[in-house]
């Protein structure tokens, strides 16, 4: 028996490998199974051109056997096997991939399914094993060989007995140490779950002997242990199946099995892209919000497979933030993986896929909005905030993608409407898209500021989400119509009342100035209102910052001193105004009291906190006694 040293570079690489390339020990099984699958693929490709070899599907499989007593785990395949030279070259030289060479030689035969390429996966076995024994018989050689290694020190190779073509790899699993347990790699259920996780869609059966309890024959309460061979993987991935073969239930079942969510998906999107980048994907739009969706803990992303082998659980690069609610998976054979196959080498392919996916999701949502309004509204109630956030974020970069997907509650329709719908039914004389902000629909409905716009017969969009006003500020305009708050200084209405209220304003200049001085630091101006019909007062704003935005900004940490420029508007046609006027002429103290009361009322209507509630109630008492 000859003992050979690994080549010097190999030795260092092996140590590095064992200690640092992979983040999780469990992937050794993924690597060994992938190699076994490659080995069977190779027979399949040889059989394509060699009439002496018949590829009978039943004879090709991978078998996993764990033995707790001897602490061994065996991975056996009926693949192409290795000759003595191949054992030396492919296992003895690290970073040499027989599979890559095979792919190059067989390009004409469409060998793209083969997984291996870096020539390091095999060594991941040393993460969990003290020693590795490979017994292999090649399809082309006559004798079998045994390759054995305890890691960095080198390996031995000698002839041995093996009847069938194929490879059997036996790992002597490490003993537990103080910080690491290796026992799990001998546990049936654990092995099964690792196989399911990474290798479920390997195209050949992965078999295991599994024990279970079964009722003893002839008894109805006595059980016996039985061992049965089971195929652990599902082999044909649903995403490789033809859409026409699949029913909605199949997609729902996959969603369930994969635990993408506990709800039923609202919609699925099955993509088979064959263009510039080749990939398959199954994406879902969930029905309800995951409990942690709007929290920091939530991680967006899709499962990423390379050739049916799971590479990443949550690949976040595949989804833009505004579509972070989408669940599902992507499988591609054109990804450039890095050496540990955990990360991607270049992200060009991935970027292409991401872009492609994004436009598919968008068009799916659009057609849902068009053809399945009810479903869309359900979706929008759950995730609309995220879309609106998308309009706002990144300086409005995505607004074109998203502006036709967002909806707001309409004062007229009493339901969610799109901007397109709003604009398409605007009367000719209406110049702006009007909106009103507030905590809830009920509250906005009672906002005095909305009266005039509503009286004009114009539709008003109700903004109840924090993000709404920020989002439309970012949009600026939709179809050349700008947005206008019903609380903004100038409503932009062709207004007959204008002259009348200008006149009132002039006549009562002193009163308004007096009131403004009473409210110094609280409001910028007091003015005769053009918009109020039946209500006595309201607060409006001048400039960019609205009262709602002020509230939201103030609620944020380190907000500093944000202040909207507020204007207190008094309805000159309300009885209160007459009382105010006569108080100003005869009793300044009373005028001051009325001013404070009216201001505080306006605060209450806006849902703003009173600076001094006790004083407010005292003031009310003063007018009662
Ligand atoms: P890769 O799979 O990236 O090529 P590995 O380190 O996993 O690298 O494997 C190295 C080489 O060893 C493979 O390319 C293949 O030629 C050979 N090999 C490994 N396992 C087997 C196997 N079970 N049957 C046949 N050949 C194998
Ligand atoms: Mg490999």
Give the CATH number, domain containing residue 556: 1.20.120.790
Tokens standing for residue 435: 């909106």
Return the higher-pLDDT residue of 342 and 81: 81
pLDDT of residue 570: 94
Report which secondary-structure segment, H or E, holds 133.
Answer: strand 129-137
Q: What is the dihedral of CA 316, 321, 323, 329, to 10 degrees?
A: 0
If phi > 0 it is left, if psi is from -120 to 50 it is alpha, else beta; for residue 120 that is alpha
Give the CATH number, domain containing residue 47: 3.30.565.10
Q: What is the mean pLDDT of residues 620-624?
A: 90
**CA–CA dist 226, 494 (Å, integer):** 87
* 324, 355, 371 - which closes a domain: 371
- Residue pLDDT, tens place only, 230-260: 999 988 889 998 999 899 999 998 998 888 9
Nearest to 540 by CA among 501, 502, 488: 488
Residues 6+ apart with CB under 8 A from 547: 437, 487, 539, 541, 564, 566, 606, 608
Residue 595 lies in a domain: yes
Cβ neighbours, 10 Å, residue 260: 21
CB distance 353 to 332 below 8 Å: yes
Query: Is the domain of 136 the same as that of 246?
Result: no
Query: Is the domain of 33 the same as that of 181?
Result: yes
Cβ neighbours, 10 Å, residue 468: 24
pLDDT bin (cut points 50, 70, 90) of residue 153 is: confident
* β-strand partners of 461: 410, 435
Return the higher-pLDDT residue of 218 and 254: 254
Percent of the chain past pLDDT 90, that is, above it, reads 59
**CA–CA dist 405, 454 (Å, integer):** 25
**CA–CA dist 440, 453 (Å, integer):** 19
Instruction: Indicate whether residue 340 lines ligand 1 (CB < 6 A).
Output: no
pLDDT of residue 303: 95
Count of helix runs (H) and strand runs (E) in the chain: 20, 23
Instruction: Indicate whether residue 281 lines ligand 1 (CB < 6 A).
Output: no
* 485, 508, 539 - which closes a domain: 485
Cβ neighbours, 10 Å, residue 272: 13
pLDDT of residue 498: 63
In this model, does residue 74 exceed pLDDT 60? yes
Residue 490 lies in a domain: no
* 231, 252, 278 - which closes a domain: 231
Instruction: Indicate whether residue 167 lines ligand 1 (CB < 6 A).
Output: yes
* β-strand partners of 528: 570
Query: Is the domain of 201 the same as that of 242?
Result: no
pLDDT bin (cut points 50, 70, 90) of residue 194 is: very high
Domain limits at 125? 3-231
CB distance 420 to 474 below 8 Å: no
Instruction: Indicate whether residue 93 lines ligand 1 (CB < 6 A).
Output: no
CB distance 321 to 390 below 8 Å: yes
Residue 280 lies in a domain: yes
Residue 388 lies in a domain: no
Query: Is the domain of 247 the same as that of 154?
Result: no
- Ligand 1: nearest atom to the Cα of 115: 2
pLDDT of residue 296: 86
Nearest to 130 by CA among 79, 73, 78: 73
Query: Is the domain of 159 the same as that of 289?
Result: no
Query: Is the domain of 362 the same as that of 303?
Result: yes
> Can you point out the beta strands (E) in 419-574?
433-437, 460-463, 477-478, 481-485, 525-528, 537-542, 565-570
Nearest CA, atom 15, ligand 1:
98
Query: Is the domain of 342 the same as that of 405?
Result: no
Q: What is the mean pLDDT of residues 282-296?
A: 91
Count up the domains in the chain and report the number: 4
In this model, does residue 183 exceed pLDDT 80? yes
Q: What is the mean pLDDT of residues 26-44?
A: 93
Q: What is the mean pLDDT of residues 594-611?
A: 91
Query: Is the domain of 199 the same as that of 320?
Result: no
Return the higher-pLDDT residue of 581 and 490: 581
pLDDT of residue 147: 95
Tokens standing for residue 539: 């607060």
In this model, does residue 206 exceed pLDDT 70? yes
Instruction: Indicate whether residue 116 lines ligand 1 (CB < 6 A).
Output: yes
In this model, does residue 108 exceed pLDDT 60? no
CB-neighbour burial class of residue 190 (10 A; exposed 0-12, middle 13-18, buried 19+): middle
Residue 300 lies in a domain: yes
Report which secondary-structure segment, H or E, holds 38.
Answer: helix 27-49
Q: Which residues of 378-388 are buried (b: 16+ CB within 10 A; e: fewer)?
A: ebbebbbbbbb
Nearest CA, atom 16, ligand 1:
98
pLDDT of residue 427: 94
From 88-97, 360-369, 526-535, the region with the lowest mean pLDDT: 88-97
In this model, does residue 160 exceed pLDDT 80? yes
Give the CATH number, domain containing residue 458: 3.40.50.11260
- For a mutational test of ligand 1's pocket, the pick from 13, 40, 44, 116, i.e. the residue with the most ligand atoms closer than 8 A to its C-beta, is 116
Q: What is the mean pLDDT of residues 419-429?
A: 95
Give the CATH number, domain containing residue 284: 3.30.230.80
Cβ neighbours, 10 Å, residue 94: 21
Residue 183 lies in a domain: yes
From 84-88, 118-122, 328-332, 453-457, the region with the lowest mean pLDDT: 118-122
**CA–CA dist 22, 25 (Å, integer):** 7
Residue 492 lies in a domain: no
- Residue pLDDT, tens place only, 324-366: 999 999 999 877 776 666 666 657 888 899 999 999 999 999 9
Ligand 2 is a single-atom ion; what residues have CB below 5 A from it? Answer: 35, 116, 121
Instruction: Indicate whether residue 77 lines ligand 1 (CB < 6 A).
Output: yes
Instruction: Indicate whether residue 39 lines ligand 1 (CB < 6 A).
Output: yes
**CA–CA dist 551, 609 (Å, integer):** 10
What is the CA(122)–ligand 1 centre distance, in A? Answer: 6
Query: Is the domain of 198 the same as that of 248?
Result: no
pLDDT of residue 344: 64
Question: pLDDT averaged over the chain?
Answer: 89
CB distance 32 to 159 below 8 Å: no
Q: DSSP 3-state helix, strand, coil percentages of the chain (rounded to 5)?
A: 40, 20, 35
pLDDT of residue 105: 72
Query: Is the domain of 225 the same as that of 246?
Result: no
Query: Is the domain of 18 the same as that of 137?
Result: yes
Query: Is the domain of 212 the same as that of 247?
Result: no
pLDDT of residue 36: 96
CB-neighbour burial class of residue 544 (10 A; exposed 0-12, middle 13-18, buried 19+): exposed
- For a mutational test of ligand 1's pocket, the pick from 97, 101, 168, i.e. the residue with the most ligand atoms closer than 8 A to its C-beta, is 97
pLDDT of residue 363: 95
Report helix angle 588-606 to 613-624, nearest 10.
Answer: 130
Residue 378 lies in a domain: no
């Amino acid at each position: 028996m000859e003992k050979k040293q690994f080549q010097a570079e190999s030795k260092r690489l092996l140590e590095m490998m064992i200690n640092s390339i992979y983040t999780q020990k469990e992937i050794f099984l993924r690597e060994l199974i992938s190699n076994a699958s490659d080995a069977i693929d190779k027979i399949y490709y040889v059989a394509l051109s060699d009439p002496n070899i018949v590829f009978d599907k039943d004879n090709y499989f991978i078998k996993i056997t764990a033995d707790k007593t001897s602490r061994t785990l065996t991975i056996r395949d009926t693949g192409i096997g290795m000759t003595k030279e191949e054992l030396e070259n492919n296992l003895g030289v690290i970073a040499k991939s027989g599979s890559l060479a095979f792919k190059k030689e067989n390009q004409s035969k469409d060998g793209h399914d083969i997984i291996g390429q870096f020539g390091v996966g095999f060594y991941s076995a040393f993460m969990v094993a003290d020693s590795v024994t490979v017994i292999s018989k090649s399809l082309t050689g006559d004798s079998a060989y045994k390759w054995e290694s305890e890691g960095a020190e080198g390996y031995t190779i000698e002839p041995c007995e093996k009847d069938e073509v194929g490879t059997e790899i036996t790992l002597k699993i490490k003993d537990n140490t103080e910080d690491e347990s290796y026992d799990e790699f001998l546990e049936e259920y654990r092995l099964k779950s690792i196989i399911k996780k990474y290798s479920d869609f390997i195209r050949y059966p992965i078999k295991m002997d599994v024990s279970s309890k079964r009722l003893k024959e002839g008894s109805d309460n006595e059980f016996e242990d039985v061992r049965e061979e089971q195929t652990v993987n599902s082999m044909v991935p649903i995403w490789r199946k033809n859409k026409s073969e699949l029913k909605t239930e199949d997609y729902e079942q996959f969603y369930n099995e994969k635990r993408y969510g506990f709800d039923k998906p609202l919609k699925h999107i099955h993509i088979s892209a064959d263009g510039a980048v080749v990939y398959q994907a199954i994406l879902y739009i969930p029905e309800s919000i995951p409990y942690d969706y709007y929290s920091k803990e939530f991680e967006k992303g899709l499962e990423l497979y390379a050739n049916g082998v799971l590479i990443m659980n949550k690949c976040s690069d595949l989804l833009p933030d505004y579509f972070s609610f989408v669940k599902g998976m992507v499988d591609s054979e054109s990804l450039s993986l890095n050496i540990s196959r955990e990360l991607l080498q270049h992200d060009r392919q991935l970027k292409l896929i991401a872009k492609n996916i994004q436009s598919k999701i968008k068009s799916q949502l659009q057609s849902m909005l068009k053809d399945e309004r009810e479903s869309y509204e359900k979706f929008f109630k759950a995730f609309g905030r995220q879309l609106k956030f998308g309009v706002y974020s990144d300086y409005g970069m995505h607004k074109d993608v998203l502006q036709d997907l967002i909806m707001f509650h309409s004062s007229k329709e009493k339901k969610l409407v799109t901007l397109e719908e709003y604009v398409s039914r605007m009367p000719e004389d209406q110049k702006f898209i009007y909106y009103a902000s507030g905590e809830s629909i009920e509250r906005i409905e009672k906002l005095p500021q909305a009266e005039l716009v509503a009286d004009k017969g114009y539709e008003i969009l109700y903004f109840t989400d924090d993000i709404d006003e920020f989002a439309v500020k970012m949009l600026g305009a939709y179809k050349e119509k700008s947005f206008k708050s019903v609380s903004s200084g100038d409503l932009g209405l062709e207004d007959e009342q204008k002259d009348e209220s200008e006149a009132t304003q002039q006549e009562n200049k002193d009163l308004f100035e007096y009131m403004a001085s009473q409210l110094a630091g609280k409001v910028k101006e007091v003015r005769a209102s053009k918009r109020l019909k039946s209500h006595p007062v309201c607060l409006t704003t001048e400039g960019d910052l609205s009262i709602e935005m002020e509230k939201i900004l103030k609620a944020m940490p380190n907000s500093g001193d944000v202040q909207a420029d507020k204007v207190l508007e008094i309805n000159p046609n309300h009885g209160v105004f007459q009382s105010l006027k006569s108080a100003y002429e005869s009793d300044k103290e009373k005028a001051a009291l009325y001013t404070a009361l009216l201001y505080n009322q306006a605060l209450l209507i806006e849902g703003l906190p009173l600076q001094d509630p006790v004083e407010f109630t005292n003031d009310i008492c003063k007018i009662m006694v």
